Chain A
Amino acid sequence: MQRKSLKTVMFLGVIAGLASAVAAQETNEQPAQPPPAPTNPADMVAQGEGVVESGAALSTTVSGLVREATEDGDVMKVTCLNDKQTEIDGNLSTAQQHLKALRGTSDPGVRAHEHTMLMVIGQKLDTLGQEAGQCVGQDLYETGETAVDTIIDEDMLPFEDEPSVPPMVLPPSLPTLPPPESGMR
């Protein structure tokens, strides 16, 4: 029970962090921009390490949610979270490679490039965290295959059966044939 509570708290923390990030984005009328690149190499490495640590924490949290959903037998949630975790892990691995390259270079141009890549991956990880949060509540909105039953109140419909077949106009009802020629001039 404690483990579940811990995971829930962790997840709520992730969601709260993401929510504040989103709120911050909403208050800014300008489109979200990556933070300004520091000129100090140590600051660049520190920011890169922050991205990798956040990604690792996110991966751990989502992994716990996958296990929880598996235990609950919620196939829909498991499938959704698995997809997100695969993407998170892939991006985390890429971030670790760029952090390693950032640490090992002395060239200012390469350093700036590696730092930019880490910041972009950080934004991607934020987005994946939001999407993982939507997986948790997704079953509330997922209806599965739907069918629409339309009930027509026939009392409200015209009684005409086949409007495409209008009544025929018949010839005169009474016969108008002349008498036989034997009686005529």
Chain B
Amino acid sequence: MRANLSLLGVAFIATTLSAASVHAQGWLADRSRAEGSGIRLGNFELHPGVGAEGGYDSNVFLSENPQDSPVLRIAPHLYLQTLGAERSGDAGPPPVEFKAGVSGSLKHYFETQAGTNIGAGQDAKLTLRPGAIVTFELSEEFKRNIDPFTDPGVQIPDTVPDPDDPPVEETPADSDLSFARDQLSLGARAQLGTPGGVFKAGLGYKFAIDHFEADEFAANRANSHTVSGDTSWEFFPKTALFWDGSVTRNNFINSTDELSLDEMAMEPSLRNDSTTTKTRLGLNGGLTARVGFTLAGGYGAGFFDAGDGFEAVLAQAEIRWRPEETILWSFGYDRETTSSYQGNFVRMDRIKTGTQLMLGGIVVIQGRVELAFLNFGVDPELGERDDMQFLATLSGEYRLVDWFAITAEANYWQNFTDFVYVNELGEEDAAKYKRFEGWLGVRAFL
């Protein structure tokens, strides 16, 4: 049974360090870690699981004036897939590969108006003839994220207060404000490859919907169409020369240039439709048996229906070291420019490091530290903005048996910036914040 754990450990270590989200629980952000040995159902295997944790959040609304709260988090998941490598052995890839999963996350804040909410995740991916010369993929993903992502702001009274009146204590803008954000994406990709996969070329399309449930965030609602292409050539010993590129058309449901002047005055910042394109060329693979690397450079450009666009050099450098089979450490740098809800776009320079460990087949530890420098485009409403973001996460679990573990997680975020939002009354709301959260719980999984 320890052998099974080791296999899981190797699979877990093999995943990309940066795949984790800062919002999801440690294990739900990494499917290979969440899965246990599973239950075989004919040509499929099922991986159910549930976790329950108690925690503390020092700054629920990411505000300069933090509201803290104890939190309860319950997260079930259910994954279904065609037989994995451990079960199918040397049989080779099946003609059809299928993976699907559904997960939930109930959160209850005991001491803030955030109250109780339910997040959800669901995804499915169908691959026809994996490993063949022609492969076709269909994918779908849905996420409902409930974590507050900004300060709710300050309530604006209906009448302007008399300056002679005594100051009133600041109150949250809307105690029932929902931060629920629904994201749906549907994609298809065709791949042509030589036998053995030495050369591959793919062409894909993705449609995505980004929906903020609360009317207060309606300006952020958008959908996008992305056409992407990629190709790679693998050579000795395990290295690939790769290229990928994409063109994305992003449409806000209520873009700024389609609003009347009155409506525009109510918008917090720019919401301009855009077409962005990116291309990247690089090398990825192994330098030695224990050292891997990624080195890539590219070009990106964004064309917005109004406001400034961008042209940018993109870069990616990462080195990975695996001193033991179940220990991985990485260090890297990213330079990226993406669309933003403020100033049309944001340029990012990020230094990051991370580690994943499985010790003795029973202790799993993941850690990540990032320092990112953000430079936003100039927003006519909000002006200029520069941020520095620091992120440190550490999560781990101790597996008492093959299907039950004690989990722990600690996260620290801090956003350093001089930027302040100003409302109609001239009241300031600083964009800087810091947040700590800690979790302790148990989870059962198969």
Contact = CB atoms under 8 A, between A and B. Distances in A.
Interface of A: 155-161, 163-185
- Which 5 interchain pairs have the tightest Cβ spacing? A158-B286, A183-B153, A180-B216, A164-B232, A163-B285
Given A158-B238, A164-B240, A177 B177 contact: no
A170 B238 CA distance: 24
Contacts of B149: 175, 177
Contact of B152 (A166, A168, A183): A183
B299 interface: no
B346 A181 contact: no
B267 A181 contact: yes
Interface residues of B, number: 80
A168 B340 CA distance: 18
B150 A177 contact: yes
A169 B316 contact: yes
Contact of A184 (B294, B322, B338, B424): B424
B276 to A, nearest CB: 12
B287 A158 contact: yes
A158 B237 contact: yes
Contacts of A174: 22, 372, 389, 391, 413, 415
A171 B338 contact: yes
B24 interface: no
B341 A177 contact: yes
Most buried by B among A169, A180, A183: A183
A185 B286 contact: no
Given A158-B288, A175-B149, A168 B16 contact: yes
A111 B241 CA distance: 75
B130 interface: no
Contacts of A161: 14
A158 B289 contact: yes
A180 B152 contact: yes
Contact of B268 (A164, A168, A169, A179): A179
A179 B268 CA distance: 7
B424 to A, nearest CB: 4
B290 interface: yes
Contacts of B322: 159
A174 B388 CA distance: 10
A178 B341 contact: yes
B219 interface: yes
